[in-house]
Every structure is written in structure tokens, then in C-alpha cells.
Amino acid sequence: MITRDGETGPVRALRGLEDDSAQVRLRAALEVGTAADPGSVDALVERCAVEPEFFVRDMLTWALARYPAAVTVPRLVDALGSERAQARSQALHTLSKIGDPGAWPAITRGLLTDADDAVARSAWRAAVLLVPEDGREGLAGVLATQLGRGGLETRLSLSRAFVALGGAAAPVLRAAATGATPGAREHALATERLVLDPDAGFEFALHEAKRIMVGG
């Protein structure tokens, strides 16, 4: 449909992605996703890199997930090489929602160990969803290098990734639980408890890990 100012609906919606109002941007993302015009994919991915509001980013991801993976995945993989941390993080988050196994090779060690905690957490979530069966042990080995990293949110995210890996995680967690680095040992012990009992609270698991480390 052509509006009075000569713009089509999709063009107007794409312009709305850059509006100062978060509510306008939210509606624009909804409209673009509903239309599912492949020509809008680049604009959606680019907006993901700079959008400040979480709920708008969530709608952008929803919009991208409505397109065929063959259209979106290559563009999202390209975004993984961005210098902007939010671009990498949001691309990883969106790839995890799309769930195309073909994206697995793009989840590199560099992303899994990214210096930005938000990027690393997104990479861990995407990796455990996309990893093929024969790559689970290798992934667990890379994730083990991140034990003890960051604050509670980051450590919980990593522990949840290990829980998702199940049996493949057991050998590397056991090795880390007897290692020399106290932070990694504590985190590994807490994670082992969560693997055995996913319903256990993480803070309780950490408390138990501390108790074990002091011998009582």
C-alpha cells in the first residue's frame, strides 16, 4: 500500500526502526516481521547491533526468526565478526532462536571465550543448542576454560550450558573440580551438583562447593 507521502508500508516500517520512540520501534519491528519481506533482513540485523531496549531487540529477533534460515543465517553469521559487542551478542541470540544446525561452525572458540561477558553468554547458549553430537565433548572442553569467570549471572549461564551438555560435561568438570585454580574448582563443583540436580538453586550449589573446598 502507498501512503499519502508516497511511501509503501514496508518502507515506512523500516524507517520506524530508527524512530526516537521505543514504542514506535517496537511496532515497526512487529510490522516488518509480519510482512517477512526478505529485503528487510539487512535492516533488521543492523538495528539489532544498536537497539538499546531489550524488548525491542527481542521483537527484532522474533522478526528475523520468521524468515527462512537460508536468508537470515548467512547475514547473522556475518554479524558475528562485528567489532560491536552487541552485534555479536544479538546475532548469537537470534541464531539460537532460529536453531539452524548449519550455523554451528560459526560458533568459534573466539566467540565462546569472548572478552565481553554478554557475547560469551550468548555464544554458550547458542553452542549447546546447535552443537552436533560428535562435537559435545570438544565444546565441553572449551567451556571448561571459562569456569570461574565473571559474576553470578555469567557463572550461572555457563553452568546451565554444562547442564545442557549432560554426560559430555562430566569428565571436564571432574578434572576442573580437582584443578589448581580455586575459582574454577568452586564453579566446577557447583556445576557438577547442578548437572546431578538441575532443580537445585545455583547459590545453594555454590555454598555446597565452598563447604567441600574447606573440607566440611
Domain boundaries, the chain: 136-216
pLDDT in tens, 124-153: 999 999 999 999 999 999 999 999 999 999
Q: Given pLDDT bands bounded at 50, 70 and 90, which one contains residue 12?
A: confident
- In this prediction, what percent of the chain has a pLDDT beyond 70? 94
Q: Check if the beta carbon of residue 95 is closer than 8 Å to that of residue 76.
A: yes
Q: Given pLDDT bands bounded at 50, 70 and 90, which one contains residue 10?
A: low
Q: Is the pLDDT of residue 2 over 60?
A: no
Q: How many CA atoms lie within 13 A of 151 on its CB side?
A: 4
Cα 177 to Cα 180: distance, rounded to the nearest angstrom: 9
What is the per-residue pLDDT for 9? 58
